[in-house]
Amino acid sequence: MATAKNRQRAARNVFLQKWDDLGNIRGLIAGLLALVILFSLKTGFFLTQNNLIAISDQITTIGILALAMTFVILSGGIDLGVGSVVAMSGVLITYFMSQGMGMVQSILLGVLLCTIMGSLTGVVITKFMLQPFIVTLGTMGVARGVAMVVSNASPITQVTDGFSNLGSGRIGVIPNPVLIFVVLIVLTVILLRKTKFGEYTYAIGGNEEAARLAGIPVNFYKILIYTLSGFLAGFTGYLMASKFNSGVPTLGQGYELDAIAAVVIGGTALSGGIGGIGGTILGVLIMGVLNNGLNLMGVSAYWQYIIKGLLIIVAVIIDSYTRKKR
């Protein structure tokens, strides 16, 4: 009897401890729950299986970009190019196929070119010691331009049969992209928390000079981080092209800002060194749920801009306030 009670108490303590360890994320979880409850009460449709699957499907694109953006921002950088790279990737892959290249080769080459673009971005930032903001503003233009030039500014629809299988298929009721997103979450969490790459990402963002003096090849890791960003943007581009069964040169405009917003709402500091994937996922979910819920409630798109804009500001205020109190 007594032991059962003790065990119960111990379990509760463990739970409280775990809850405590979550730190800044607690506010996000509470916020997300509040939104879910609000929308469930306001619209009967919100908590249905179909709608939840729809939400998951909607958030994968920004979600994958936000995973990569988390690394970039944690290292103290920023990557404004990812939205354009998404378009470039889709256009390149479909263009290669329309020119008679095999499907697999086209996909690999397209994603590889995006990855190389990411590496080059990192090389330029580190070798010339430039602000990532400016350099990636440049790559944003270049990638969009490449997409436009290659596609002649109109969607490429001449694709190999079966190209859309991955992007529009499902396993059971779950869309493939959602499953891929989940796998990528697991992989990036491992990368960030269990490997040297992740450890150094935090160190570089936390104090680049201290990292350099500790013998960390800072430039090499920064280049790797932008390479990862280029790769995941390229992969996202492939996923979307597959989903739409075409390469759309105007795709992905503003995605970089949504990804940055999700990361920042998730509590990762723009100055680098603080934050993580967990927060980012919550940031992505909050944005996705808000989007979906407001649509269901029939709130006009214009009002949605205002609400989402304010959300970013409020999230950052709360985050900065809790940090100061600590």
Partner 1 sequence: MSNAVQMNNITKSFSGIAVLNGVDLTVAAGEVVALMGENGAGKSTLMKILCGVHEPDSGSIFVNGKEEKVPTPRKAFSIGIRAVHQELSLVDHLTVASNIFLGQEPSRFGFIDHAKMQQMSQAILDRNGFELDAGHKVGDLSIANKQLVEIAKAIFDDTKTLILDEPTSALTKKEVERLFKVVALLKQKGVSIVYISHKLNEVVQIADRVVVLKDGQNSGELPIENVTEDKIVRMMVGRDIVYSHTGAGKVSDESVLKVEGVSSIAVNDINFDLRKGEILGVAGLMGSGRTELLETLFGKRKLLQGSVWLKGQKINNASPRHSIKSGFAFATEDRKGNGLVLDMSVKRNVSLPSLNRYVKFGFINETARTKNSEENVRSFNVKTSGVNQLVRNLSGGNQQKVVLSKWINIRPTIFLIDEPTRGIDVGAKAEIYQLLRNLASDGISIIMVSSELPEILALSDRVLVMKGGSVAGILDRSAASEESVLMLATKGENLNGNG
| Number of residues counted as binding partner 1 (CB under 8 A) | 20
Q: Cα dist. 282→83, 275, 286, 287 in Å?
A: 21, 12, 6, 8
Binder among 44, 209, 298, 301 for partner 1 (CB under 8 A)? 209
- Residue 199 touches partner 1, criterion: CB under 8 A: yes
Q: Which is nearer to partner 1, 42 or 127 (CB)?
A: 127
Cβ(243)–Cβ(177) below 8 Å: yes
| Contact characters 268-297, partner 1, x per CB under 8 A | -----xx-----------------------
Q: Which is nearer to partner 1, 229 or 268 (CB)?
A: 268
Of 2-10, 119-127, 196-204, 286-294, the segment contacting partner 1 by CB under 8 A is: 196-204
Where do the H-state alpha helices sit in the chain?
2-21, 25-42, 49-74, 82-98, 103-127, 132-151, 165-168, 176-194, 196-206, 208-213, 218-244, 255-265, 277-296, 301-325
Binder among 216, 257, 296, 312 for partner 1 (CB under 8 A)? 216
Give the separation between CA 112 and CA 106, rounded to whole angstroms. 10
Burial of 84 (0-12, 13-18, 19+ CB in 10 A): buried
Please, what is the minimum distance in Å from the beta carbon of residue 183 to partner 1?
Answer: 18
Cβ(231)–Cβ(71) below 8 Å: no
Give the separation between CA 85 and CA 249, rounded to whole angstroms. 10
- Residue 312 touches partner 1, criterion: CB under 8 A: no
Residues 169-188 that bind partner 1 (CB under 8 A): none
- Residue 207 touches partner 1, criterion: CB under 8 A: yes
Summarize as ranges the residues that interact with partner 1 (CB under 8 A).
Answer: 194-196, 199-200, 202-203, 206-207, 209-217, 273-274
